[in-house]
Structure 1
Amino acid sequence: MLEHAIRAIVQNRRCVTVPDDMSVRRVAELMRVNHISAVLVTDLRSNTLKGICTERDIVFGVVASGKDAETVGVGSIMTRSPQVISPDRPFSHALHLMYEGQFHHVPVVECGAVVGILSAKDADGYDARQFEGELVRREEITAIL
């Protein structure tokens, strides 16, 4: 799975996208109903990415700040300009980006248009553990050299 092109992983999956003026409460409801932990914030006409909103953004940007989720637009709490990846890259590259950047989701974008979203949960348990072990070994070798 690690060397599969990302396109093969996201091609038959629905990706939830929302406009930046949607209320955080409505976004949270969409996340609950769809059993997801992140949505992509897009310009719905052009399907271009504006940002990503994760459960963490909602907790820190609204709940912990004491803001009203009904009146706050997702555009004000989303992560702007997130790291993206091409659908032609191998899944291992996406895992590397997530590991290095310490985030759990990466939008998949092609020619400026949103194609899908990957999550660290997309990794098969064994492959993920094997990949993480490989990253640790590489860091240890780099430190020695």
Structure 2
Amino acid sequence: MKVRDLMTNEVITLKAKHTLQDAAKLMLDLNVGVIPVAEEGDKLRGIITDRDIVVRAVSKGADITKAKINDYMSPKLVSINPSESAEEAAKLMAEHQIRRLPVVEEGHMVGIISIGDLSVVDIHENEAAFALHDISTPARPQL
């Protein structure tokens, strides 16, 4: 099965100039933990997660009503093309320990796929379960 058959097509984005509070409110309204950050409509620049907000900003005393997404988002993105297989998506998620992949075609975001999307299809050797295991294995803290 192809990523395009499983992905969520309608993805709401924010701009890097929005505040962390804007991101948190949108996450609450949409019941999601990640918001893609895009410019010029659908040109993906990064992703802001609920974890980014808490660990990178709130824990350090940032004022989320003024702090900009640009300063706390994850700019290094792993993405996938919609023509790739579900197996490839699971492999990338496991390798990079991420639960969601932006789906990008010709430089433009066309959707997002999550580990949950993969869990509903029968992919080779239950790669969604393997991916979830690898994603959920915590990194060792640096002492």
Decide: shared fold, TM above 0.5: yes
* TM-score normalised by L of structure 1: 0.81
Secondary structure of the equivalent of 1:20? Answer: coil
Q: Kindly report structure 1 stretches of 4+ aligned residues shifted beyond 4 Å.
A: 125-129
Residue of structure 2 in register with 1:37 after alignment: 33
* TM-score normalised by L of structure 2: 0.82
| Alpha-carbon distance change, 126 to 94 in structure 1, aligned in 2, over 3 angstroms | closer
| Structure 1 residues not aligned, in runs of 5+ | 137-145
Note if 1:9 corresponds to 2:6.
Answer: yes
| Alpha-carbon distance change, 48 to 126 in structure 1, aligned in 2, over 3 angstroms | closer
Report the Cα offset of residue 133 of structure 1.
4.8
- In angstroms, what is the RMSD of aligned CA positions? 2.2
Residue of structure 1 in register with 2:98 after alignment: 103
Correspondence for 2:67 among 63, 72, 89: 72
| Structure 2 residues not aligned, in runs of 5+ | 134-143
Correspondence for 1:87 among 73, 76, 82: 82
Report the Cα offset of residue 121 of structure 1.
2.0
Report the Cα offset of residue 10 of structure 1.
2.4
Residue of structure 2 in register with 1:139 after alignment: none
Distance 2:16 2:85 in 1: 30
Aligned residues: 130
2:7 and 2:114 in contact (8 A); partners too: no
